[in-house]
Structure 1
Amino acid sequence: MNLNELERKIRYTFKDRKLLTTALTHRSFLNESHGKSKESYDRLEFLGDAILEAVSSDYLYKNYPLIDEGKMSKIRAVVVCEAGLFAIAEKIGLGEYIFMSKGEEMSGGKNKPSILSDVTEAVFAAVYLDSDFDTAQRFILYHLEDSIKNAVKNSDNNPDYKSRLHEYATSHGDKLNYVVIREDGPEHEKVFTVAINYNGKQEVTAQGLGKKKAEQQAAMLMLKKLNR
C-alpha cells in the first residue's frame, strides 16, 4: 500500500507516519496484523470529530456574520454529516488505503460510507497531532471549504421558514398550529391549503404542492406578518 501516494493526494506529508497508519486501521485488522497494528482509528475518529466541528464552526462564525446560531448549526450539521465526509473520502480515493480484515473487505467495507466518513475524521485528527491546530485547520478547510460554501448557498435557496417560525413562537410563549383546510387534485400531485392558527386566531393561509410545501409557504407569510 503506497502511503506516499496518499500523502500526495491529501497534500500533507506526515512527520510521524504511524499516525497516518493508525488513522487508516479498521478494528477488524488488529487480529490479522499479528501484533504489527496495535490501535485502530476509533480514538482518532473521536478527536477528529471534535476538531472538525471546531473548524467548521469557526469558519462559519468568521465568514458569515449575518447568519444566526440556529442556521449555523444546521449548515454545520450538513457539512460534517456522514454523507459529506463520505464525499471527501471518495474524491481522495481513501477506501483503497484502509487496512481491514479480509472478511470486512469482502463485505464491501472499503466502500461503506460509515467507515469512510470515520476514517476521514481520523485523518483530520492525525494531521492535528502531527502538527498543530492552525495547520490542521488549513488542511481541513482545503478539503471542506467548498462543501461549507455549498451548504450555505443551499440554505439560502431552501430556507426553513417553519423552523424559524417555531423558534420565534417558542421564544415568545405563543401558541402555533397548522391546519389543513383543503386538499385538491389527484393523490400523486395533491395541492394542499394550509392555515396557521396563531394564539388561537387564524392568521394566514397558503397553498403548496404537498403538505410540507404548503406549511413552509404559510410559515413564510406568517413570519412576514410578524416582521421576522
Structure 2
Amino acid sequence: MLYLNVHFSEKDEAKSKYARWDPEKKKWYATNEKYYYRFSKWIEGESVATNNVYIAVMDRECWKCKNETPVYGFAVRSKGIIDITGETDDIEEYTGFDTVIIPISSNDVPEEVRKYLSESTKCEIRFSKTIKKSYFSNICTHCNTLQGNHFVYDEVDSFTGIETTMLEENPISYIKFKLVNDIPLIYEAGDHIVAPPVKIFDENNIIESGISIE
C-alpha cells in the first residue's frame, strides 16, 4: 500500500483511477504495486520502495587519520524497488546492482532511519568546507572528521564502486527496517550502472533493528 499526495481538487481523478480513501489519515492510497505508475503525479519521487529498507554498514579507512571507521548508507534491495517512470521493470537487471545504496544525507532516508543513525552512531549534521553547506554525514569514530559523500559513496572501494572481491575482506552488514507501507524514493534507476553485475547483499549478514516504518 502506498499513500499519495492528492490535492482536494484532484480527488475525483484519483478515485477514478481506483485510489482508496483512508478516513483516519485523511489520505488517498494505492493498493496494487503493479499499477503504481498510474498514480505517478501524486508520488514524490521516481520510484517506490517495498517490503524492507536497510542501513548498509562497512568499514572504511578515514581519509585523515587512516584508521578504520564504520560508514553508513541507506540501502534498498533492487528487487524491492518499483520504477514508476517506465524506464525498467527490473532495477537489478538494468543497473547491475542487487542493492541500491543511497547517501544518508538524501531526502529518501526515512525519519526513523535517520533517528536510529543519530542515536546509535556518530552520524550527525556537519558543515562541509568542500561544498560549503551542512548535511547529515558520516563521521570518523577516531578523529571525529567528516567523511564526505564523494569519499564514502563514489570512490572505487566505497559503496557504489565496490566490487564483489572486495567484500571478502570488508563485508557489508545490513540493519533491517520493516516497511508497514511502501514509500516513495527520489532515486532514479540508472544513477549507477555496472557490468558485469555486482552482488553485494548478504542474507546472512542482517541485523534486525526491530523498528517498523509507517
TM-score, normalization by structure 2: 0.24
Which of 1 and 2 has greater Rg? 1
Greater helix share, structure number: 1
Q: Which has the higher contact order (CA 8 A, sep 6+)?
A: 2
Structure 1 length normalisation: TM-score?
Answer: 0.23
